Structure 1
Amino acid sequence: YFFQIIILITTRNYYLYAVLLVIGSVVINFLVAYYTNKLFPQIICRGKISDKKKQDIKVKLKGLMLNKVCQVSRNAFDSIFVSMFLGLAETAIYNNYYSIMNAVTSFLAIVSQSILGGVGNSVETESIKKNYFDMIKINFIYMWISGVCTVCLLCLYQPFTQVFFGKDMVLSINAVILFCIYFYVLKMGDIRSVYVHANGLWWENKYRSIIEAISNLALNYFLGKYFGIYGIITATLISLFFINFLWGSGIIFKYYFIDISIKEYYGLHFLYAITTIIACWITYNICELINIAGIVGLFFRLVICMILPNIIFILFYRKTKEYKAAMPWLIKKITE
């Protein structure tokens, strides 16, 4: 990373920077392999596995590869079509907004990735109903956090961009709303994806991954051509909601949560979405009353965004069975 920064500052040559990305990845992988062997010399690969197991691994890896390509293609397609239809200046502005959203997404990815090992162990040792109950409980907490993050994005996007990037780099409030919906819909499938990975259902998701990437490409072209940046974000939203969330959720209920109705799962997400919309509307209107510019105004907005949505969520959820199951469990985990 140090050498990449030096190359960018001294040469301003993106091609050299791109070459260093590849070289850096290779060097890091070699270093990881070296230190792994040094720190854990007792762990040695030995023995053989059956041809049937090898074939199963190959099939799962193909499905996983398709899934990863689909994920990477989302923003890549968006940036390409923003550049094609609106120019490089608009692409820079779009990427600023996407980078802010992606930073929050990366923070939440820590949560989802940290529970993967535990979920994998639970899938092997617990009943399907127990795992479904755990998924609903974890998903409730995760969507609560995602809801607060969505409120923060809606209320802080514009002042943050003005302070750190300048007023010329600000998109309209309509684009901000679309980015917030984009973020929230993306988070709706995260906990479900953890259970997909824990069960190794990548090959079962192969058609979903392929069709999501193709539909995103086609929708980006047609909607971006006529509606600009709004169309491009909407295109990703459509493929995310209908193909990634609805279809993807159906797959895990078909292959793992076999005897459990998916209606409750969809209904809970509908409740979470409505509550988040209400929290966004109330918090945004209160934040708009703050006439203080700069970092000070940004700080006051942040304080409101961290307190008010949580109060709203408690008022809405306090009598639900998900709240009653999740909160004692969460408090116990934190205090252990």
Structure 2
Amino acid sequence: MNTDSRTLNSIRNIGAGFVGQLLQAIVGFISRTVFIKYLAVEYLGVNGLFSSILSILSLTELGVGVAFIYSLYKPLAEKDEKTLATIMRLYRKVYITIGIAVFIIGLCVIPFLNQIIEEKPVSIVEDISFLYLFFLFNTASTYFFTYKTALLNADQRNYITTLNYAVFYILQNVAQIIILIVTQNFVYYLAAQLIFQFLGNVTISYIVDRTYPFLKKYKKEKIDKVIKSKIISNAKATFLIRIGGVMVNNTDNIIINYFSGLALLGYLTNYTMLIGILTTFIAQIFTNISASIAQVNAIESQEKQYEIFSMVNLANFWIYGFCGICIIILMNDFITLWVGENFTLPLSISVMLAINFFMVGMQNAIWTFKTTYGYFNEGKYLVMLTAVLNLVFSFALGHWLGLFGILMATALSRLVSNFWYDPYIVFKLGLKIPPIVYLKKFLIYLIVICVAGLITYYLAQLCDFSTIINIMIKAVLCLIIPNTLIVLFYRKTPEFEKVVQTYKASYHSILGKIKKG
């Protein structure tokens, strides 16, 4: 098991995450460019639509993944091999059952595909049901292998799963690029994805078996009843949270297809793909420090916990605020340069995408602390309210305002529900600090980023050159103005000083490791 320090583990995981995501982003971007060149835009819509449908089917997972990962923290810290082996054996049984259930339920969706896509575009020559089966196989098969990544992640070895996924993702995309150029065949394209995803899953399964040989040692021991009961209790809570999250995040594509069709959905997926790449990059930081935060919350004082939270929350705001401004200022110019002005959407769409991006991002610190505290039951019903409100608002605003209204509905449903309640829980129960402290800080964050965004937008509007020159100038404005304002405003705060200290310590730690190596 992992015996390295929290700082070293976090640095290694974040570093591997950034390298892996950079390589994946480059290859994925090239692959999407080739996709757009050789296949009709409606195929992008099919990709987005089927991905959303199968994300909803993943509700079958019941949220047990989060509950199981949480149950692994304590035995890992205590190096309790027996308990780890019994938990993982139960995890395996549950996930194999889930994989089978996802596949069976997915098959039941096939008769309704003609209602979901009422008129198949003439540009799509393949049978819709046949294409859907590839997506279904891809989704269901992951449950038979990837449950093992939970142990690596809980043991602060995310870098192993990150690099494994990156290697097979790159191989997959290279194969898909060649297939598109040579055959222009969407079926072969999907087959390549199926094959390389399967190979990646088998590889990570093998790595886990080699890294933790004791998993096969305790085959007859039964899991402790108290631990099993706790897992079940947490899984029930996370099931409701997962339903709400999926209904909020994955129904938009289905509603957009209903109101506007596959073509507009295809245009939107270019925007969401770029934002998805950005989100995945940023997530490397927060995903890879969650296990370290779990240790802080388990053994450190509440003062230390709040110090860490304040530091993470400031970093959270800084990163997502800066990137949100970049989305508004640069997105349409980048789409124009990349695939042409015909693929652009109104600026208001970029604004709403940036707002949703910022709102979700600002929850990162809160969610990380909430899950590592083990507060799964708190707020579980409120997430369902978020889902219901999102559906109601999406149909109402989608009818009146189209795509802009559907995206606005997502932001509104979050704002009136878990966006305020989750911070309340973390501060009230976990940090034991009045929640008004968080609210005041958030409002100041909001004012700072709005001022920075307005100044940047106003100056960017003065750019009237070629597209590539505009992007270069606007990128410099985005880099200088928001970051300068944030540094000037927060440079004397304790959390800012802590961020700087942590950065310096990480830098020297890396140099030390390089010199020793």
The match for 1:333 is 506
Contact conserved, 1:219 with 1:232, CA < 8 A, in 2?
yes
Q: What is the CA distance between 1:18 and its match in structure 2? A: 5.9
Other structure's SS at 2:378 match = helix
Structure 1 partner of 2:414: 240
Cα pair distance change 1:211/1:22, threshold 3 Å: farther
User: Quick check: 287-296 or 148-157, which moved more?
Assistant: 287-296
Amino acid at match of 1:293: S
User: Which of 232, 244, 248 is residue 70 of structure 1 equivalent to?
Assistant: 244
Q: Quick one: higher RCO (CA 8 Å, sep 6+), 1 or 2? A: 1
Aligned pairs, number: 334
Which residue of the partner structure matches residue 51 of structure 1?
A: 225
Give the 5 Å matches for 1:165-244. 165-244=339-418
Residues 299-314 of structure 1: pairs in structure 2 closer than 5 A: 299-314=472-487
Query: Which of 86, 90, 101 is matched with 2:264 structurally?
Result: 90
Retained in 1: the 8 A contact 2:317–2:362? yes
Equivalent residue of 1:103, what SS? helix
Residue 372 of structure 2: SS of its match in structure 1?
helix
* CA distance, structure 2, for counterparts of residue 330 and residue 35 of structure 1: 31
Unaligned runs of 5+ residues in structure 2 are 1-171, 510-517
Displacement of 1:60:
1.7
Residues 428, 435 of structure 2: 8 Å contact kept: no
Report what 1:294 is aligned to.
467
Q: What SS does structure 2 have at the residue aligned with 1:201?
A: coil
Give the 3 Å change call, closer, same or farther, for CA 334–70 of structure 1 in structure 2. Answer: farther
Change (3 A) 1:8 1:216: farther
String of CA shifts for 1:80-101, please: whole Å, max 9, x gaps. Answer: 1111112222212222222222
Q: Which residue number in structure 1 is paired with residue 201 of structure 2?
A: 29
Matched-pair contact (CA < 8 Å) for 2:259–2:399 = yes
1:124 and 2:298 are equivalent in the alignment:
yes
Q: Distance in 2 between matches of 1:209 and 1:35?
A: 36
Letter of the structure 1 residue corresponding to residue 505 of structure 2: K
For the structure 1 residues 25 and 63, does the alpha-carbon distance in structure 2 shift closer, same or farther, using more than 3 Å as the test? farther
Over 3 Å counting, the alpha-carbon distance change for 1:20 and 1:130 in structure 2 is: same
Asked if 1 retains the 8 angstrom alpha-carbon contact of 2:460 and 2:474, the reply is yes
Distance 1:45 1:98 in 2: 45
**Structure 1: tracts of 5 or more residues without a match:** none
Q: Is the 8 A contact 2:248 2:386 kept in 1?
A: no
On the 8 A contact 2:336/2:343 being kept in 1, the answer is: yes
Determine helix, strand or coil for the equivalent of 1:289.
Answer: coil
| CA gap 1:122/1:73 in 2 versus in 1, 3 angstroms | same
Deviation sequence 1:34-87 (CA, Å, 0-9, x none): 232234435545344321210111222333344344334434211111111122
Q: Which residue of the partner structure matches residue 210 of structure 2?
A: 38
Structure 1 residues 204-213 or 192-201, which shifts more? 204-213
User: Matched residue of 2:361: which SS?
Assistant: helix
For 2:439 and 2:194, how far apart are their aligned partners in 1? 42
User: Which whole-Å CA distance do the structure 2 matches of 1:4 and 1:207 have between them?
Assistant: 42
- Report if aligned partners of 1:79, 1:95 keep a CA contact under 8 Å in 2: no
Match of 2:476, as an amino acid?
Answer: V
Please give the per-residue CA displacement for 1:295-316, whole angstroms capped at 9, x wherever unaligned: 3432232122112211111222
Give the letter for the 2:300 counterpart.
E
1:158 aligns with 2:332: yes
C-alpha spacing 1:205/1:6, structure 2 compared with 1 (3 Å)? farther
Deviation string 1:307-333 (CA, Å, 9 cap, x unpaired) is 221111122223434334433343333
Give the superposed CA RMSD.
2.5
Contact 2:428 2:434 in 1 (8 A): no
TM-score of the superposition, structure 2-length normalised? 0.60
Provide the C-alpha distance between the structure 2 equivalents of 1:333 and 1:38, rounded to a whole number of angstroms.
30
Offset at residue 269 of structure 1 (A): 1.1
Shift of 1:197: 2.1
- Report the CA distance between 1:120 and its aligned residue: 0.8
Question: Cα–Cα, structure 1 residues 323 and 36, in superposed 2: closer, same or farther, change >3 Å?
Answer: closer
Equivalent position to 1:135, from 291, 309, 332 = 309
